[in-house]
Structure 1
């Protein structure tokens, strides 16, 4: 592909190379977030360009704050790097460097800036890493998996241009794999990034998440210890706190998780970071069965950052639990309009079903399938959410096949629980119980896990154990599902109180 006329800078040897497909567009078309007109403005020195690559690529996989991109007066601006100055591009780089989402407009400006530069400098591996990581964040932010193939092409182009010691591209590929729910790949890329730069804290959080999703809580805890031992900078402390909150929660240490997330919120250096800490604290309160308190945290998260769409969905859950169903539906619809994920469609569909609105539920279930197909085209693995849907609302046998394959890929507690439930719904209760036990043995305290196990035990005639786990589910969170929580209450009433007399010999 020839470089278009009218672009700045002479065609260097790198400039005569073919522009890879990650920024190619059909004639007369412009994909979202890409400008085919190069921006004109201040040039960045090479050292600043390198800082931009390191901060942006590393920051996507971690929380924390980085001070980056200072202008360096008195230095010669060697490369014609078009940039709009310390405005939108710098704000986006700063946000991503802090592990927080940039605004849509700023992120688009960063993508435009790198695309414009790469049209004349396609051999610049650092800018390819920046572009790829920005595409990952755009895909996360919009729930549009179409950005992920672009991200992969850009990151692999960076790695091809610099096969050795390219930690930026490795970290970006780890973040991309995590966004696609391919946690084996995220583990592989993350381990390579950490091995290459063990003191680079921004490579650790995505690796910690990957270990957790693979069911290796011990490795997650050890990696967390390494992260927290890297230093006392604000960036590494914030990253450690956010990662610790999830690790502690997965191991059943609820108070520790709540405390560390409260600390992370107090030490927040940006509205987006504060919003993330508030949202995760709200999630803990929700899981503990405190919807009124959770609602306050979700609303505070939205006040801190209106772009926190996950907090909108959390608000919907809490409002439904409090009986404010009309407001709950509005909150879910707002979340889906901003970030249309299959998970939100399933939650809203089940809320409609609990309200005896079959038409509304069916519309959301159809939307779920459409979003899964869209995600699949972008390389996203939605087998867990699709298996859960099929188990309760579709074909349990299909759910078993999907989730057995997913269990072979990712041995997390969530997959073990989902597979156990699908096996129960398909009629194989003995095998189902094995997986339900595995889910709870990992330590996570979950009302859904306890409910599923209780129902499986009831089907096996183990009424004492069934009663115990159904009661546990309602103690953990009496509002855990608009469909399943009422069923748990009904089953407990049917089972009645345990007999007081001793059983016969």
Structure 2
């Protein structure tokens, strides 16, 4: 029976391995913070077992191409959970061995190449591998998952939706429902997204899949300002997988909203010691007001920025937003212009627009902020960014978007939500850099 996206969800989430590897790229395995995480993070038993089993299979059957592609998939998953991008190199090597043994019609190797390309933000390549896989085997699911993840990052939402619809038809399970939920949320349908995520929970095959779906449900509730409902989902996530990072981060935000700032910061401190993602580090910095209490988190983020500028590679938008707000906005623009060449999603558009605003380039920034709104996502941070840019430009719709941000989720950011309230009480004021540029033109 065909399961239309209108019922189950509406295509595509950057879920699974792609979601977990957005911050990884060439050279990241030498990142001092990532290296700490790779040593400290306890690899889930299922992941470590899968890698060990796959390696033993290749040792026993070295001429089996399927065994080598299976090892590549296990290495990608290990890269996701340990933050060790070196595992992607190991996956590449395994895929080369597989293709050397079977060059033609090697579906598993082609989908594996797509997984690695997407993890490295080589989304155009990911799309090509996904298309190749779906042409090779139109009734197998993995190629559509690769294709959907690439298309969402490239900003082709209709193509992503088509890929997820096909994924739902073939394999109506957690991977498809999670991706469907993201598209529904992104297109302004949070109630339907919640239904899709509940189906992802119910169809979860592992504790990690259940934790992921519950944490995403918590994020969805949080983004609607439903703190109590969000807390229930975050607790279920950590019940499924103790210390599940996204569940822990969600609970830290709940404690912060309830005035338990010290407890929330302590949770973040323990979380980033195991999983130093830019998102978690930046959330801790915002909660701590950028002061001495979060000096270590700021140092970790600054180290990531220095390494990224030196080595290149994919940019986590959370990192760029941190730089725009708490570092050098021009550096954030530099990073996001590079990422925009690789990915044209609404998330990247929003981050680039905000970086430009903070650098005083509001006339250019507003175009990206409007691109970020093109799907109708009820994202409070996006609305705030757009409203602040338009407010600075003196556009009448600016204050409306600021109010919408606070209505959607009054707790969307401990740093920016108070600024939005303050801005609504003020007359529009140009950014100092914008004033200087206009003055220079007059002179």
TM above 0.5, yes or no, is: yes
Aligned mates of 2:50, 2:204 — CA distance in 1 = 24
Q: CA deviation at 1:459?
A: 1.2
Write out aligned runs for 1:148-227 (5 A): 148-227=88-167
Q: Does residue 303 in structure 1 map to residue 303 in structure 2? A: no
Structure 1 pair 424–103 and aligned structure 2 pair: CA distance change class (3 A): closer
Q: Does residue 386 in structure 1 map to residue 316 in structure 2? A: no
Aligned mates of 1:379, 1:129 — CA distance in 2 = 28
Structure 1 pair 322–163 and aligned structure 2 pair: CA distance change class (3 A): farther
Contact 1:336 1:344 survives alignment (8 Å): yes
Aligned mates of 1:237, 1:323 — CA distance in 2 = 39
Contact 1:279 1:311 survives alignment (8 Å): yes
Q: CA deviation at 1:417?
A: 1.0
Q: CA deviation at 1:422?
A: 1.2
Aligned mates of 1:264, 1:114 — CA distance in 2 = 27
TM-score (norm 2): 0.81
Residue 268 of structure 2 corresponds to 332
SS at the partner of 1:301?
helix
Question: Larger RCO: Structure 1 or Structure 2 (Cα < 8 Å, ≥ 6 residues apart)?
Answer: 2
Contact 1:419 1:432 survives alignment (8 Å): yes
Which of 248, 251, 260 pairs up with 2:187? 251
Contact 1:310 1:335 survives alignment (8 Å): no
Aligned mates of 1:374, 1:156 — CA distance in 2 = 29
SS at the partner of 1:144?
coil
Residue 11 of structure 2 corresponds to none
Q: Does residue 487 in structure 1 map to residue 419 in structure 2? A: yes
Write out aligned runs for 1:70-149 (5 A): 104-119=44-59, 121-149=61-89
Contact 1:439 1:449 survives alignment (8 Å): yes
TM-score (norm 1): 0.72
Contact 1:312 1:334 survives alignment (8 Å): no
Residue 461 of structure 1 corresponds to 394
Aligned residues: 392
SS at the partner of 1:366?
helix
SS at the partner of 2:298?
helix
What are structure 1's unaligned runs of at least 5 residues?
1-58, 64-101, 497-505
Structure 1 pair 202–126 and aligned structure 2 pair: CA distance change class (3 A): same
Residue 31 of structure 2 corresponds to none
Which of 209, 232, 243 pairs up with 1:273? 209
Q: CA deviation at 1:475?
A: 0.7
Contact 1:174 1:187 survives alignment (8 Å): yes
Aligned mates of 1:281, 1:303 — CA distance in 2 = 14
Aligned mates of 1:388, 1:416 — CA distance in 2 = 12
Aligned mates of 1:295, 1:386 — CA distance in 2 = 25
Aligned mates of 2:351, 2:224 — CA distance in 1 = 21
Where is the helix percentage greater, Structure 1 or Structure 2? 2
Larger Cα-atom Rg: 1
Residue 433 of structure 2 corresponds to none
Structure 1 pair 188–307 and aligned structure 2 pair: CA distance change class (3 A): farther
Aligned mates of 2:165, 2:309 — CA distance in 1 = 35
Q: Does residue 397 in structure 1 map to residue 337 in structure 2? A: no
SS at the partner of 1:236?
coil
Aligned mates of 2:94, 2:309 — CA distance in 1 = 20
Structure 1 pair 140–373 and aligned structure 2 pair: CA distance change class (3 A): farther
Residue 427 of structure 1 corresponds to 360
Aligned mates of 1:132, 1:160 — CA distance in 2 = 14
Residue 441 of structure 1 corresponds to 374
Aligned mates of 2:199, 2:276 — CA distance in 1 = 31
Contact 1:397 1:426 survives alignment (8 Å): yes
SS at the partner of 1:441?
coil
Which has the higher mean CA deviation after the structures are superposed, 359-368 or 472-481?
Answer: 359-368
Aligned mates of 2:106, 2:302 — CA distance in 1 = 38
Contact 2:121 2:343 survives alignment (8 Å): no
What are structure 2's unaligned runs of at least 5 residues?
1-14, 20-41, 429-443
Which has the higher mean CA deviation after the structures are superposed, 120-129 or 291-300?
Answer: 120-129
SS at the partner of 2:425?
helix
Q: CA deviation at 1:197?
A: 1.3
Contact 2:79 2:88 survives alignment (8 Å): yes
SS at the partner of 2:344?
coil
Cα offsets for 1:456-492 (capped at 9, x unmatched): 1111112x31210100010111111110011001111
Aligned mates of 1:61, 1:419 — CA distance in 2 = 24
